[in-house]
Structure 1
């Protein structure tokens, strides 16, 4: 059985290599199909697919007006932000986020929140989450088939996880004392908390008391929050329809809650969440889908010199990942083994094997027909039921969680300073990994933190980082294995010109120091741009020693 499964995986992986992501197509189309009126020309041509009267399609040429460099720079900076906060335990936290759309509107989303957890008594109530410290949450969401699921997750995922974590050391029936650490979070947290209260039934918000010091329970709490939130998304339309069927004064699809429940269920989203628990010196990274997290370590040698080391913290959860392929085949009857994964995709359609929403891969056919005909207006367009859907669900929101130690934080048990130190964390949607390898991303962030400026050759920067450990075949980095070659990685120059490290990564993903390539790729409008590049969202988290203890700011209380 194992040999036949591996043969099946190799077949689907070979097909996936042919139909790989936009990273390969950008390189191929740019070098072979994109023509320009010359360097700095006012227009250039691209190849686009056009529908024909008989319902087929054909390739044709479309002229694109080149945007000015000022407009290109404005695009790169439009959704960039950086925040910094100093904490009493000697660390200044910094995080930068940037995004660039290809879809219109963008289907990516992101969220961040920093909470303080402490011991305190308030009247007769005890709020106890172990030793004092911070909980830092950073998340990126990669939506597909619309922005509805990712936008919902941006509001609800972090509160859902925070609430589930709050049950580990407290059996009280409500969460008290949450106030934002940074004033900009006030409206976000209030809105998200209210939203989550309405979304999740009260009886499911809290569970029994278990110790927060045990990483097993922390990870179980994160998994539970992911599963419960997706369950609410997927099951909300059925509950809404049941409620509306009791009404006789309107058609169900005319009610505003009909579309509000259906849209997040029918679209989908990957989610990548990092939880940094400073009191226990733990980093937990949870991934559902094919977004990726990488860590940058600084390895110092005996001479005081060193290199950056890459640690990939997540696996790309697609049909090209042999682990996901075997899991998917094993969860369905043997007679479905030949098509559960086709061309590296679930039932030949969906690329990520894990996602929120995507109910057309989770609902039975009969339920899909009933909900779409009842809750969507006549003539609505939506993703159809996959042809081979027989034993749903085929897609799960269950995350895979990785734990690492925040070795740079002070510890009473620390004997000596390590020569290898975690220095930063990068979370990004797959649009970045279509273009850059994990090693390239770590070298670019490392160079940024070292203060490099101007243009730097790819070959030179590559020497500053050790190659990441990669699983056999295309498991951990399926996209990189299919699209990157040694020549791709060493030709050309990187650009170190941005103040925001997230923008720095996006610029270098789409051209770097090659301004002509950058301007062409960013001048292509939606929907044509999707053939050349995907939405990209990236969050970089890093930390610096805090030389003096600053006055403590207003801090969120969990």
Structure 2
């Protein structure tokens, strides 16, 4: 962040969203934050950043400032297939080489260069065809100019969005901050996620928390959340204390 300019560079499927006041119908102001732009020459697919239109009774809407890089995004799957025309198994079971859901990331060297793949034990090697990497480290870069309608930013790993939409995340934070101005909205989101995960699994929260963290991956992913108010406060939570 620099003055009124926010730059978001991302790899993978973590997200950055900004909460905005919904459109003022009397003034006709834009509801979806048209001041967000893609920085050319970095990653043009950033234009598919999610812009959610709220219901009429919703106080805030969510503008996604990051680009999801996963096999759930058709453009990402098409890109990988185009870069590996001789490999019919570059995407298997909705995963890159049958292994990773994300299509861009740090690490994953064995899916970036053949020499790192060859250094693995045979049972872990991939069939690396051609010279192009399967997992890219080219980020998406997006610029957003803050405006009076912007209220706060939320950065989170993808586990949060297994149970919440962007709009729901913004709504939960907004309501919590209004009711508990001295509370921790990041921790609140983690707790709400665990409640949803427990309910989906047909158990009470305390039953879920009694499961060792490694085994709990069956019910929810690791999650880290950061909420940044535009007034200078920052809250962080990873739920590791639970």
Do the structures match in fold with TM over 0.5? yes
Normalised TM-score (structure 2): 0.73
Q: 2:211 — aligned with what?
A: 524
Quick one: structure 1 residues 321 and 519, their matched pair in 2 at CA, closer, same or farther if it must change by over 3 Å? same
- Bigger radius of gyration among the two: 1
CA distance, structure 1, for counterparts of residue 145 and residue 21 of structure 2: 14
Match of 1:220 in 2: none
- Residues 100-153 of structure 1 show CA distances to partners (whole Å, capped at 9, x for unaligned) of xxxxxxxxxxxxxxxxxxxxxxxxxxxxxxxxxxxxxxxxxxxxxxxxxxxxxx
Q: Say yes or no: does 1:326 pair with 2:78.
A: yes
Taking the aligned partners of 1:397 and 1:543, their CA distance within structure 2 comes to: 30
Indicate which of 140, 159, 162 corresponds to 1:400.
140
Q: Does 1:389 align with 2:128?
A: yes
Question: What TM-score comes out, normalization by structure 1 length?
Answer: 0.33
* Counterparts of residues 256-267 of structure 1 (less than 5 Å): none
C-alpha displacement of 1:448 = 1.8
CA distance in 1 between partners of 2:206 and 2:123 (Å):
33
CA distance change for structure 1 residues 525 and 306 in 2, over 3 Å: closer, same or farther? closer
The alignment status of 1:289 with 2:12, answered yes or no, reads yes
8 Å CA contact 2:159–2:220 kept in 1: the answer is yes
2:98 is aligned with 1:348: yes
Q: Distance in 2 between matches of 1:449 and 1:383?
A: 50
- Cα distance in 2, alignment partners of residues 432 and 287 from structure 1: 17
Instruction: Find the counterpart in structure 2 of residue 144 from structure 1.
Output: none
1:438 to 154, 166, 172: 166
Q: Which residue of 2 aligns with 1:339?
A: 89
Range with greater deviation from structure 2 (282-291 or 390-399):
390-399
Could you tell me whether the CA contact under 8 Å between 1:319 and 1:346 is conserved in 2? yes
**Higher strand proportion, which one?**
1
- Aligned counterpart for 1:310 among listed residues 55, 62, 66: 62
The answer to whether the 8 Å contact 1:295/1:312 transfers is: yes
Conserved? CA contact 2:12–2:68, under 8 Å: yes
- Verify the 8 A CA contact 2:111 2:133 in the aligned structure 1: yes
Q: Could you tell me which residue of structure 2 aligns to residue 230 of structure 1?
A: none
Give the conservation status (yes or no) of the 8 Å contact 1:310–1:439.
yes
Q: Which residue of structure 2 lines up, in the alignment, with residue 277 of structure 1? A: 2
- Return the offset for 1:284: 0.9
User: How many residues are aligned here?
Assistant: 198
Gaps of 5+ in 2: 27-56, 233-242
2:72 aligns to what SS in structure 1?
coil
* Pairwise CA distance, 1:367: 4.9
The answer to whether the Cα contact below 8 Å between 1:310 and 1:442 also exists between their aligned partners in 2 is: yes
* 1:533 maps onto 2:217 in alignment: no
Shift of 1:383: 7.9
- Alpha-carbon distance between aligned partners in 1 of 2:167 and 2:116, rounded to the nearest angstrom: 45
1:422 to 150, 153, 156: 150
Match of 2:239?
none
Inter-CA distance 300–368: structure 2 relative to 1 (3 Å threshold): closer
CA distance in 2 between counterparts of 1:367 and 1:537 reads: 29
Cα RMSD (Å) = 2.8
Shift of the alpha carbon at 1:306? 7.1
Quote the Cα distance in structure 1 between the aligned partners of 2:123 and 2:20.
43
**Within 2, Cα distance between the matches of 1:307 and 1:499?**
20
Q: Cα distance, 1:450 vs. partner?
A: 2.0
By percentage of residues, which structure has more helix? 1
For residue 315 of structure 1, report the CA deviation from its aligned partner.
2.7
Shift of 1:301: 3.6
Residues 383 and 530 (structure 1 numbering): CA distance in 2 closer, same or farther, change over 3 Å? farther
Query: Helix, strand or coil for the counterpart of 1:309?
Result: strand
User: Contact (CA 8 Å) 2:111, 2:117: kept in 1 or not?
Assistant: no
> Could you list the per-position Cα deviations for residues 167-218 of structure 1 after superposition, in whole angstroms to 9, with x for gaps in the alignment?
xxxxxxxxxxxxxxxxxxxxxxxxxxxxxxxxxxxxxxxxxxxxxxxxxxxx
C-alpha distance 499-326 of structure 1, shift in aligned 2 (>3 A): same
| Kept in 2: contact 1:319–1:344 (CA 8 A) | yes
What secondary structure, in the 3-state scheme, does the structure 1 residue paired with 2:217 have?
Answer: helix
